Each structure stands twice: as structure tokens, then as C-alpha cells.
Amino acid sequence: MSNKGHSEDYFGNERDFWWNKDYFDLLAKRWELSKYSKILDVGCGRCHWSKLISNYLKQPAEVYAMDYDPKWANGDDIIREYFAKNNVTVNFMQGNAEELPFQDNHFDVVTCQTVLIHLKNPIIALKEMKRVLKKDGILICAEPSNIAGALIKDSLIDNESIEETLKSVKYHLIYEKGKKLLGEGDNSIGDLLPGLFAKVGLDEIRVYLSDKATPMFPPYDSDEEIALLNTLKEWIENDEGQFDYHQALSYFMAVDKSNSNIDFFNEQFQKNKERMKEQLKYIKNWNFYTGGAYVMYVISAKKIE
């Protein structure tokens, strides 16, 4: 039985490169984060997100790092030391995003990063986040549109036929739909999030896109590229992340219980895995390159009432 925490396959070192500092400096200024000192990080994982935000808070600051998974809810000394060096008190705890264990009007800032994509009822979680937010406090959510990545080109697939590209897009659409049908969340919820903010009665809704991309090109020697390559190798070698066969198969079966798409699934799953191996060969020969665009929304709103 695996001892991994939720989403651990996606917590590699490349996650430290998700945001450009100068862009986040601008967001912090727009949000006036220096006015706030008490925040709740919902679904904190390894606190990549709250560590980043805490750098802009009014000092001394206090972070409540909450996760339903005991592994992350316990925190660790490395994370505690990071916060301590920055004059931030961190409180680790276990809790459910859809039933937050806090009183009303408790936090200056409530936030999450790639958490709503995993929830069966994200609107319930948003209502809870609003509830525990102080009047005039700010809610900040960073959530992606992952399906957009199915059409990002690279040198390996540049000359792929239209039919093969459509098969790849179909595979990713079924994967996302099945995940949602099983109650495990919507991988592209960022597209819908502004409307959900409005539904729960938040005000001053602002919608931004991260300016970050993950380009790869020879000689592949940046710290970010090295971290990304290490993660891809681990996924391939250990059947992790998008190469978890049983997880992917469960999503396809949720969409098509008759299994009429099983041959298509097996063909595309194996093709995606072989394509990643081929990508590593291209990199070895300095023939792989891509702009590495992806869509990450950053959406904020105020609680006026």
C-alpha cells in the first residue's frame, strides 16, 4: 500500500518554479497583501502556495495550513523553518475544505492553489471560504484549465496528423470528464471559477492569468528544466502522475461503462507513454523544444457582506 499523500506525484521540485517573482510582486500590490497578516491555506499540501504569499504579508504574520490528508496536515520541520525565518507563525491542522473548522469572519485572506480541481463540490468549499473570511477580506484561488495543454505543440509532434491530434484531445477530454463523473473534481475548473465566485456572493471579482510558461530547449540546463525532467522520468519509471494506468482507466470506464472505448484508451495511453520516452530521447539529442504554455487562472474577490 502506498504511503504517498494526495497529489504527491505533482509535488516535485518543479513546483517551486510555478510563478515569476516580478509578476507575483504585481499581484501582491494589486491585492494589497501588505495590509493582511492572518491567512488560511486550504489544501496546503507542502505549502508551496502559502510560503509564496507569506512573503508579502504584514509582519508578524500567521498562516493556518490545513489539509484533509494527515501527511500534509502534520507539516514538517523544513516548512516550519522556512516560515520562522520569515517571521511567520504556521499552524498545521487537518480539515475538510467543504466544512472548515473555523468560526465565521476569522481570516484576512483565504486561499488555495490547485485544490478546487480535486473537489466534488467546489461551490460548497467556496461558500465555506467566504464564511470564514473577515468582512473586507480577500479570497484568492489559483486554478488551471488543463485541457488547454492538449493543443500545445512541441518539436516531437509538430508534424503529427490532424487525426492523431484529435485522438489526443479526445483522450484528454474523456480523462477529465471521467474524473468529474467520479466526483474527483474538474481539471479545468479555472474556466468556470469567476462564475462560481459570483454565485456565492463575492464582490470585486478580478480574473488574471499567470504569465508563467515552462519552455524547454537546448541545452536544457536551467534549474527549472532539470527539475521538470526529473519529475517526468519518475512518472515514466514508476507509473505515476498521468501514467497511473488504473486511475486513468477508471476515468474512461466512468464515461463509457460499456467499455466500447477500451481499445482506444489502451492505444492512446500507451502512445502517450511512448511519446514521453521519445521526448527524453529527443532531449538527449538536443532535438526537443517547446514554448511550454499552460493556462493558470488567478482569481480574487472581496467579501463585502
How many residues make up the chain in this entry? 305
**Residue entry with cell 522520468:** 233
Residues 284 and 145: their CA atoms lie apart, in Å, by 30
In this structure, are residues 209 and 297 in contact, taking their beta carbons and an 8 Å threshold?
A: yes
Pick the CATH number of 8-145+188-214+293-302 from 3.30.200.20, 3.40.50.150, 3.30.565.10, 3.30.460.10: 3.40.50.150
Between 18-22, 32-36, 230-234, the lowest mean confidence (pLDDT) is in 230-234
What residue type is 200 in one-letter code? V
d(CA 271, CA 265): 10
Condensed to tens digits (0 to 9), the pLDDT of residues 52-97 reads: 999 999 999 999 999 999 999 999 999 999 999 999 999 999 999 9
Q: Is the pLDDT of residue 3 over 80?
A: no
Q: Tell me the pLDDT of the chain averaged across its residues.
A: 94
- Residue 2 pLDDT level (bands cut at 50, 70, 90): low
> Which of 199, 220, 217, 197 lies closest to 207, judged by CA?
197
For 265, what's the count of Cα atoms within 13 Å in the CB-facing half-sphere? 24
**Distance (Å, whole) CA 138 – CA 204:** 10
| Least confident among 66-75, 161-170, 230-239 | 230-239
Q: Give the model's pLDDT for residue 14.
A: 86
C-alpha cell at 77: 520541520
Residues of the chain with CATH 3.40.50.150: 8-145+188-214+293-302
* Nearest-angstrom CA–CA distance, 212 and 21: 10
Average the pLDDT over 176-203 and give the result. Answer: 97
Average pLDDT of span 36-56: 97
- Where does the pLDDT of residue 1 fall: very low under 50, low under 70, confident under 90, or very high at 90 and above? very low
